[in-house]
Every structure is written in C-alpha cells, then in structure tokens.
C-alpha cells in the first residue's frame, strides 16, 4: 500500500488538472447506508422500486415516507475525513473539479465550490407543475407529501432510475473530464453509467487514474493505481504530502 500511495502522490505532485469522482462509499464512512447495500431496504421495498418516476406517480406518499426516512439518517451525518481531504485538494490544485454521484449534500457542507452533483441533491425539491426548485431541509417533513406554494406536489430534485441526467450537469462533467490529466475515483461501484465510463475515457486520452475503494471494482482494471481501504484514511494521508 505504501508504494502505491507513493506513486499516487508522485503523480499528483505533477498534476495540472485534477478531477475527483465520488460515490456512496465515501458517505458510508459517515454512517449513511449505501444505496445498493442491505440497508437500502425499507419496509419490504427495494430502493430501486421507490426511486422511479413511476413509483412517485403511483404512490407519492410512500415514496416521500421513504425519502423522509433517508433524510432523517443523512441529516445526522457529518462530512468525514475523506470529504475534508477532497476540500483540501480543491485548495491545493488551482484546476480542480469534483463530480459526485451522492445526493446527500455532505461535500457541499465542507464549503467546496467546484462541484457537480450529477444525480441531484436530496435536500432540494422540484415543483411537479413548473419544475421550479428550492431547498427543503425540514426533518422530519411537516407534511407528506410536501407541496409547493402553488399547491402542486413537490418531488425530490434527484435523478431517479429511468430518468436522464440533466443536460447542464452532464455537459459540465464532460467538459472537465476532457481537460483533466489525473482522475481520482473514490468509493464508487463503477457500475452506474454514464459515470462508470469516465475512467476509461480519461485513460483513452492519456490521463492517469487513481482508484480509492474498499475492494476491487470494474475500475480496477483501468486504474494506474488502486488504493484499497477507507477513504477517510487514504485521502488525508495523500493530502498531507501535497504542497499547501
């Protein structure tokens, strides 16, 4: 592991443009259940059966009860050492960007600025009539389902199964990916597209890929360096060795 960290640090010291991608694994270290783990079950429902536009259209009350439960868990969580280390990367690299697949808002709470939440944000809601968005941070929710000032039902402003990633977020992601020379992928399963294709895209254009995860993933076959363990241990160890 120490040799691999040395290689990662050596590369980062020569990096001009750093792109970081994070997935559920980094937030799991803050106590947030992973979307695909056993904790994804709730009252005999699978997350994949609730996080769809069709489930919401059929039964918005049940979907919102599930999201209210999730918000209760996430609301008690704090950014961990991995989140804070990524914020330090932003301060270290003038050309830095973060793409997160997480909707929990923990990266934002570190004060990070150069970020795309490619799957949305759990604390933001969208009116089902005019698509206007706003923040709703009540835990628990005062009413289920919550409603807009216009009277229509609000929905979580997240990307559900069967929905497309918003064009603006996707275009911003492709733009920074085309510019980066080093990609660091942290705590992602490597199976959710289109983000799962990003490491190979970076490699194809001559970039360097660093993977940080608890176990091997499909990204391991593409990565130049794979660091296995907790991101809350590995990322601070890397950040400490970079110029400040």
Show which residues are catalytic: 119
Cβ-proximal residues to 11 (8 Å cutoff; 6+ apart), any chain:
182, 208, 210, 224, 225
Q: Cα 95–97–101 angle (5° rounding)?
A: 170
Question: What whole-number distance in Å separates Cα of residue 108 and Cα of residue 29?
Answer: 16
Cis amide leading into 198 (omega within 30):
no
Measured over the CA atoms of residue 132, residue 137, residue 142 and residue 143, the dihedral's sign is positive
H helix or E strand, kind and range, residue 95: none
- DSSP for 54-74 reads HHHHH-HHHHHHHHHHHHHHH
H helix or E strand, kind and range, residue 3: helix 2-13
Q: Phi first, then psi: what are they for 120, rounded to 5°? A: 95, -165
């Amino acid at each position: 592991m120490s040799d691999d960290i040395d290689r990662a640090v050596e590369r980062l010291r020569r990096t001009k443009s750093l792109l970081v991608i994070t997935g559920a694994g980094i937030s799991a270290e803050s106590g947030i259940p992973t979307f695909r783990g056993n904790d994804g079950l709730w009252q005999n429902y699978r997350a994949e059966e609730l996080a769809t536009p069709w489930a919401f259209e059929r039964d918005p009350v049940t979907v919102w009860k599930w999201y209210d439960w999730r918000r209760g868990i996430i609301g008690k969580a704090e950014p961990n050492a991995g989140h804070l280390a990524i914020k330090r990367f932003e301060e270290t690299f003038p050309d830095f960007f973060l793409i997160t697949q997480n909707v929990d808002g923990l990266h934002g709470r570190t004060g990070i600025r150069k970020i795309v939440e490619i799957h949305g944000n759990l604390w933001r809601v969208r009116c089902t009539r005019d698509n206007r968005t706003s923040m709703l941070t009540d835990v628990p929710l005062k009413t289920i389902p919550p409603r807009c000032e216009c009277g229509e039902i609000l929905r979580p402003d997240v990307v559900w199964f069967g929905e497309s990633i918003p064009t603006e977020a996707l275009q911003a992601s492709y733009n920074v990916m085309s510019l980066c020379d080093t990609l660091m992928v942290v705590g992602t399963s490597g199976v959710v597209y289109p983000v799962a294709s990003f490491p190979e895209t970076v490699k194809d254009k001559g970039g360097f890929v660093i993977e940080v995860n608890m176990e091997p993933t499909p990204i391991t076959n593409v990565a130049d360096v794979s660091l296995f363990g907790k991101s809350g241990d590995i990322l601070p160890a890397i950040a400490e060795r970079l110029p400040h």
